[in-house]
Amino acid sequence: MSQRPDLRQRRSVLEHEWARWVPRLSVPGARPGGSPSLRHEVTESWARSLGSVDPGRDSAPVADGGAVHQRWTSSPLYGPVTGLAGELCSIAEDAGFVTAVTDESGTILWTCGGPTMRRRAERVNFAPGGRWDEQAMGTNALSLALRTGRPSSVFSAEHLVSALHGWVCYCAPVRAPDGRVLGVLDLSTTWDRSHPLAMSTVRTLVSSVEARLTAGQPRPGRLRISCLGAERAVHAGRRLALRPRQLEILTLLALEPVGFSAERLRAALYGDRPVTSSTVKAEISHLRRALGGGVAPRRYALTVPVACDAVEVLRALEQGDTDGALRHYGGPLLPRSEAPGIEEWRTRLEVAVRAAVLASPRPEHALSYGERAPYDMEIHEHALALLGQRDARRAIAAGRLTAALRD
């Protein structure tokens, strides 16, 4: 059967782009002494993709509003990948790559890499929550690996979407012991950093993940951090004896799961104070001992399952759940802390919760928040505006407003 005219035209466009981008004789698909040839699996994927994907789109669509933390922590890949997070992040940072793990649908659940490459990846939503299946993002290595069940690479203009023509991706599917594909592991970078050993590195990393799946490695003990109006960390059912600085570190790592470089963590904890990086390393070493590991080296990130009241507040707000946000919001973030990173997050949380309360038409939200913010006159006025004249709760709001005005 002959190709439809629109597909022939698209193939011509692809061949033009492919010849423009690919340095001859240096990548797969280049013919010695001639023009680069297109791989059959790539042209087939283009033909399938054109019905659902605009090649001019600038980024991947978002799954579930981008909130995939719960999907990730409940994934069978979570334990094995977090156990290898230190190695994965080191490889990505050293080689100038971004590492990503998806679920079986092609939705990215976890990434790591250096800050420059992560920023570039985030521009095309190569980040947690991004959908990279063929129907959503056309021809790319992740979608090919999921479709074929084999390791795949896609270079430069082989991508259907033009915004990805500056990239090269290498990935392989990760299989459960029963053979099911659970997702893919991907290494991506700019096309000029392509490396002949990248695919073998991906295969090795996937083998390490699958070995942990086969061994049935027990999930590490869960870490619970209470940092809103409280200062407590519990690991595997045991309260940790931590200094305030160490609790600050745990809180920052929970709020920013992609992790911190040593210098950025030092700045978040000490600001401009003359504190050496060895001081931060000593605090991290203490945390590792307390958690039995649990913190990735080099780029500091938690590698144990974690629950944190501040994260739960943010997740509830992302989902428009003001009830849930107020249920978890016990007060300011680590109220005694003067660490710049904590103070920044404290303000962000307070502003976000307060804005949700003021936008809510339900008076109980203003009454609940007003209990924790006795001097916030606008909150008390908002509660009074929402309460009916015969509502007995008006007395509570009026009393709080009067007290705030006096002070």
The pLDDT, as a whole number, for residue 172 is 96
| Beta carbons of 289 and 246 less than 8 angstroms apart | no
pLDDT at 9: 62
Among 86-90, 134-138, 364-368, whose mean pLDDT is lowest?
86-90
| Whether the predicted pLDDT of 212 surpasses 60 | yes
In which band, very low, low, confident or very high, does the pLDDT at 255 lie, cut at 50, 70 and 90?
very high
Asked if 357 contacts 369 with a C-beta cutoff of 8 angstroms, the reply is: yes
Please answer whether residues 127 and 121 qualify as being in contact, where contact means their C-beta atoms are separated by less than 8 angstroms.
Answer: yes
26-29, long-range: CB within 8 Å, 24+ apart, which pairs?
Answer: 27/155, 27/156, 27/194, 28/153, 28/155, 29/155, 29/158
pLDDT at 208 over 50: yes
Q: Could you tell me the strand order of the sheet in which 306-308 lies? A: 238-239, 232-235, 223-226, 306-308
CA distances from 2 to 6, 7, 45 (A): 11, 10, 17
Indicate the DSSP class of residue 237.
Answer: T
- Token pair recorded at residue 273: 């104070």
Q: Read off the pLDDT of residues 93-122 as tens digits, 9 standing for 90 and up.
A: 888 999 999 999 999 999 998 888 999 999
Q: What is the mean pLDDT of residues 224-246?
A: 93
pLDDT tier at 7 (50, 70, 90 boundaries)?
low
Report the pLDDT averaged over residues 260-272: 94
Tell me: pLDDT of 5 over 80. Answer: no
Number of neighbouring beta carbons within 10 Å of residue 366: 28
Least confident of 195-199, 206-210, 284-288: 195-199
| 118-131 residue pLDDT tens | 999 999 999 999 99
C-alpha 61/C-alpha 132 separation (Å) is 8
Surface-to-core class of residue 331, CB atoms within 10 Å of its CB (0-12 exposed, 13-18 middle, 19+ buried): middle
Helix (H, G, I), strand (E, B) or coil at 174: strand
- The structure tokens listed for 92 are 């990505």
Which of 42-56, 66-80, 85-99, 132-146 holds the top average pLDDT?
Answer: 132-146
Q: How confident is the model at residue 276 (pLDDT cuts 50, 70, 90)?
A: confident
pLDDT over 90 (residue 284): yes
What pLDDT band is residue 29 in, cutting at 50, 70 and 90? very low
pLDDT value of position 33: 44
C-alpha–C-alpha distance, residues 395 and 113, integer Å: 54
The structure's pTM equals: 0.57
Q: What gap in Å lies between CA 349 and CA 357, rounded to an integer?
A: 12
